[in-house]
Amino acid sequence: MTTIYHNPRCSKSRQTLALLEEQGVDFEIHEYLKDTPKKSTLKDILKKLDKKPIEVMRTKEKILGELGIALDDLKDSSLIDLMLEHPILIERPIVVTQESARIGRPPESVLELFK
């Protein structure tokens, strides 16, 4: 099953969702701000993306400034914990299949999953 980690307030996320619908992809929507993924799920997504936690973090979110966190000082495990505690920090949208995943920036990049 294909899953989109979606934020309905994000234009790129909405565009990616529409693109999946246009392509006839069977998928489920996971609104990660309402229902934060488990740590094991986030680690699996990172593995499928072949990216480090910092590479899927929204590093310009104001929460980081409010918390006074220096990301350079954190290890991968701490970055994952931070994303789980503040899911707004997770880049969106992310489309995940059994084998792989892509970040929908630009939205068309997720189409690689279905070739």
Residue 40 appears among annotated catalytic residues? no
Catalytic residue among 2, 5, 7, 10: 10
CB 84 within 8 A of CB 42: yes
Classify burial at 26, counting beta carbons within 10 Å of its beta carbon; exposed 0-12, middle 13-18, buried 19 or more: exposed
Query: Which residues are catalytically annotated?
Result: 10
